[in-house]
Amino acid sequence: MAYKNYILVCAGTACESSNGIALYEELEKELKAQGVDAEAQLVKTGCFGFCEQGPIVKILPDESFYVKVGPEHAKEIVSEHIIKGRKVEALLYDKGQKKSLQAAEIGFYQKQQRIVLRNCGVINPEYIDEYIAREGYAALEKVLFDMTPDQVVEELLAAGLRGRGGAGFPTGLKWKFTKNVDSDQKYIVCNADEGDPGAYMDRSTCEGDPHSVLEAMTIAGHTVGANQGYIYIRAEYPLAIKRLNNAIDQAREYGLLGDNILGTDFCFDIELRLGAGAFVCGEETALLASIEGKRGMPIPRPPFPAVKGLWGKPTVINNVETWANIPMILLKGSAWFSSIGTETTKGTKVFALTGKINNSGLIEVPMGTTLREIIYDIGGGISGDKKFKAAQTGGPSGGVITEEFLDTPIDYESLQSIGSMMGSGGMIVMDEDDCIVDVTKFYLEFTVDESCGKCAPCRIGGRTCYNILDKITKGQGSLEDIDTLKTLAQAMRKASLCGLGQTSPNPIMSTLHYFEDEYLAHINDKTCPAGKCKDLLTYTIIEDKCIGCTACARVCPVNCISGAVKEAHVIDQDQCIKCGQCFDKCKFDAILKG
């Protein structure tokens, strides 16, 4: 016998600490006492992510959402809601007098808005029919039968869609350039060479909704007059490749790709080109070179690919997320799309939220959402109740956003003005335990490794910056090093050939600006405030606190801790490799790290 109602009680750590367990037990008691334990099931759930309003109770199937529920409310919830079917008004989430009756009405749950990810986690990506059932290929129908290419371009311009790969160039304008060039052959390219550390938006989109990319590329082909498309995707994404190939086969079988699409004169086909995973191939001119079978190295622009791209022919090249937006814009109209977002940046942005955050994940929010909403409301806050230090956006080309900017509405311009950038959508959250110099060194190590080596500012400048940062983390830095870093950064920005070199000093400039004191601590005081840089750490045993339990000596991998049982132990500093295992093992706080 199925239950009529389900009472969901949040059992996340935050709710549990605000008396959630007592509430659960009280509800259990009341259900029995009032004789309805067979009608309603009591269920513990994961965090609803709305912790400051906890403990939270949600009742299904009517989705009533009760906040700040205490054990004393259990009786009323059961007698009113479960038995009489009346909502307990006093407990409903109240925002500005208007009582929200259902979860979906609460602003918190609308912080995410899924346009790009509309089908991810909803449809089976291996069946074209499920995509079609959710208005798939309806935008292509519209473009083929009801719109002229000019109207399509106008619609995209009016929508205000800007490239989601990072630079934010208006997509409609790109298409317009290519459309207006006279050429016997044009190409459409999808940039799926996602390379930023910690970013996986494009992979998830290709895996979860491959047809949205195919449909959009076909639309672009019709609009600009191209008959061939290429998806450049890295070989490290085997599942995305498999699903895209499968989707292409199904679309061809249905006549949605190939000759005479839907019985018209329009012919268009798409093929995959696999990249070997070089970061620089995400740069569009290097990407096109790689498709042509050449070594993936950038060339100066202009001419831009829109005019002279693949094999010298006009080429529209957009990133996966940009493509996935397009069918929805054409179906729902530019007015709908441009109503979402900020003045300069319309629509939504997908972020891969990672790092020291409770609910890491793939999120999609309207432009203009603040970092605070993303981290604390959607992400559930910093893990382990640590203090927020900074968020890194834009990957190796971006910078850090500090606490003072948590309330800045996010768009291309606002992020740039505070020294970071939108980038492709990786967002890495750092807490007080992360050393900013160490993080910067990580990004430089990445760009040094990925530099193609063609131009000197990037090849030599990057390496020199890395060496200086390495020196600083080892306590061997000097104040001149900071000036050298700044000079090098300027030179790299101005003289590098492509985006990789021009932007790779960004992490240095941004962290020097906001965290200069941390650099200075490494240089002047030879300490790492976050306790991350091994060479600047020492572990010592506090004699008074040590009871001689030998736990540390037993765990030490190099046997450098000595001392008799029940007597204070000593660490041999010359032998210590600073692994920190003794520090973690000690139950008496007898080991000092610093």
Partner 1 sequence: MAKMTLEELRNLRESKKKEMTQRDDEGKSAQIIIGMGTCGIAAGAKDAFDAFLDELNSHNVTDTKITQTGCMGLCFSEPTVEVDVPGMPRVIYGNVDDKVARRIVKEHIIGKALVSDHIFDKPAADIIK
Q: Is 13 in the site for partner 1 (CB under 8 A)?
A: no
User: Which member of 1, 97, 265, 574 binds partner 1 (CB under 8 A)?
Assistant: 1
Least distance to partner 1 from the beta carbon of 238, Å? 8
Asked whether the bond before 61 is cis by omega within 30 degrees of 0, the reply is yes
Q: 260 or 417, CB closer to partner 1? A: 260
Figure out which of the listed residues 21, 22, 36, 43 binds partner 1, where binding follows CB under 8 A: 43
Q: Which amino acid is it at 486?
A: K
Residue window 534-573: x/- pattern of binding to partner 1, with contact defined by CB under 8 A:
----------------------------------------
Residue type, 433: D
**Residue 252 Cβ, how far from partner 1 at the closest point, in Å?**
9
Helix, strand and coil content of the chain, in percent to the nearest 5, comes to 45, 15, 40
Q: In what order do the strands lie in the sheet with 269-275?
A: 269-275, 228-234, 187-192, 315-319
Q: Which residues pair with 187 in a beta bridge?
A: 228, 315
- Kindly state the smallest distance separating residue 36's Cβ from partner 1, in Å: 14
Number of C-beta neighbours around residue 39 at 10 A = 16
- By CB under 8 A, tell whether 17 contacts partner 1: no
Based on CB atoms, which residue is closest to partner 1, 328 or 435?
Answer: 328
The whole-angstrom separation of Cα 489 and Cα 493 is 6
Q: Identify which range of 162-170, 354-362, 437-445, 496-504 contacts partner 1 by CB under 8 A.
A: 354-362
Cα→Cα distances 185→292, 327, 555, Å: 15, 24, 68
Question: Closest CB to partner 1 among 62 and 445?
Answer: 62
In 3D space, the residue among 430, 449, 450 whose CA is nearest the CA of residue 511 turns out to be 430
> Is residue 3 close enough to count as binding partner 1 by CB under 8 A?
yes
- Between residue 64 and residue 103, which ones bind partner 1 under the rule CB under 8 A? 103
**Least gap, CB of 131 to partner 1 (angstroms):** 9
| Cβ-contact 426, 199 below 8 angstroms | yes
- Does position 364 interact with partner 1 (CB under 8 A)? The reply is yes
The residues near 503 (Cβ < 8 Å, ≥ 6 apart) are 394, 396, 397, 398, 421, 493
Q: Quick one: 115 or 390, whose CB is closer to partner 1?
A: 115
Q: Write out the binding residues for partner 1, residues 247-276 only, by CB under 8 A.
A: 253-256, 258, 260, 262-263
User: Which of the residues 294 through 353 are near partner 1 (CB under 8 A)?
Assistant: 328
In sequence order, the 6+-apart residues with CB closer than 8 A to the CB of 220 are 175, 188, 226, 229, 316, 318, 326
Which range of residues in 77-85, 140-148, 282-290, 540-548 is near partner 1 by CB under 8 A? 140-148
- Would you count residue 526 as binding partner 1 (CB under 8 A)? no
Q: Total binding residues for partner 1 by CB under 8 A?
A: 72
Q: Which of 35, 85, 121, 303 binds partner 1 (CB under 8 A)?
A: 121
Q: How far apart are CA 383 and CA 378, in angstroms?
A: 13
Based on CB atoms, which residue is closest to partner 1, 159 or 310? 159
Stretch that binds partner 1, among 46-54, 396-404, 515-523, 585-593 (CB under 8 A): 46-54
Which CB, 155 or 207, lies closer to partner 1?
A: 207
Among 218, 358, 402, 447, binds partner 1 (CB under 8 A): 358
Residue 193 CB, nearest distance to partner 1 (Å)? 16
Output the smallest distance, CB 428 to partner 1, in A: 13
By CB under 8 A, is residue 125 in contact with partner 1?
A: yes
Q: Under the criterion CB under 8 A, does residue 34 sit at the interface with partner 1?
A: no
- Which is nearer to partner 1, 125 or 423 (by Cβ)? 125
Question: According to CB under 8 A, which one of 33, 90, 133, 235 is a site residue for partner 1?
Answer: 133
Q: What's the farthest any 2 CA atoms get from each other in the chain?
A: 89
Contact residue for partner 1 among 28, 37, 76, 141 (CB under 8 A): 141
Q: Given the complex with partner 1, which of 56 and 553 has the nearer CB atom?
A: 56
Instruction: Map the footprint of partner 1 across residues 184-223, applying CB under 8 A.
Output: 200, 203-204, 207-209
Comparison of 361 and 475: residue with beta carbon closer to partner 1: 361
Within 13 A of 496's CA, how many CA atoms are on the CB side?
27
Rounded CA separation 498/488 (Å): 16
Q: Where does this chain touch partner 1 (CB under 8 A) — which range of 28-36, 124-132, 148-156, 274-282?
A: 124-132
- 46 binding partner 1? (CB under 8 A): yes
**DSSP conformational letter for 386:** P
Cα separations (Å) of 442 from 12, 123, 205, 483, 535?
33, 38, 27, 20, 16
26 vs 207, beta carbon nearer partner 1: 207
Of residues 148-177, those binding partner 1 (CB under 8 A): none
238-252 b/e (C-beta count within 10 Å ≥ 16 → b): eebbebbeebbebbe
Q: Which of 31, 288, 363, 452 binds partner 1 (CB under 8 A)?
A: 363
Angle ∠(461,463,468) on CA atoms, nearest 5: 95
- Judged by CB, which is closer to partner 1: 96, or 263? 263
Q: Which of 375, 329, 324 is nearest to 354 (CA)?
A: 375
Residue with the two structure tokens 């074209």: 128
Q: Residue 385 interacts with partner 1 (CB under 8 A)?
A: no
User: Is position 235 an interface residue for partner 1 (rule: CB under 8 A)?
Assistant: no
Shortest Cβ distance from residue 578 to partner 1 (Å)? 31
Q: At what angle do helices 210-224 and 320-332 cross, to 10 degrees?
A: 70
Exposed/middle/buried for residue 463 (C-beta within 10 Å: 0-12, 13-18, 19+): middle
* 2 is an interface residue for partner 1 by CB under 8 A: yes
CB atoms within 10 A of CB 255: 12
Which one of 290-298, 359-367, 386-394, 414-422 is the stretch in contact with partner 1 (CB under 8 A)? 359-367
- Bridge-partner residues for 274, per DSSP? 233
User: Does 132 contact partner 1 by CB under 8 A?
Assistant: yes
If one asks whether residue 114 binds partner 1 (CB under 8 A), the answer comes out as yes
The rounded distance, in Å, linking the Cα atoms of 530 and 431 is 9
Two structure tokens written together for 233? 């995707």
Q: Which residues contact 73 (CB under 8 A, 6 or more apart)?
A: 23, 66, 88, 91
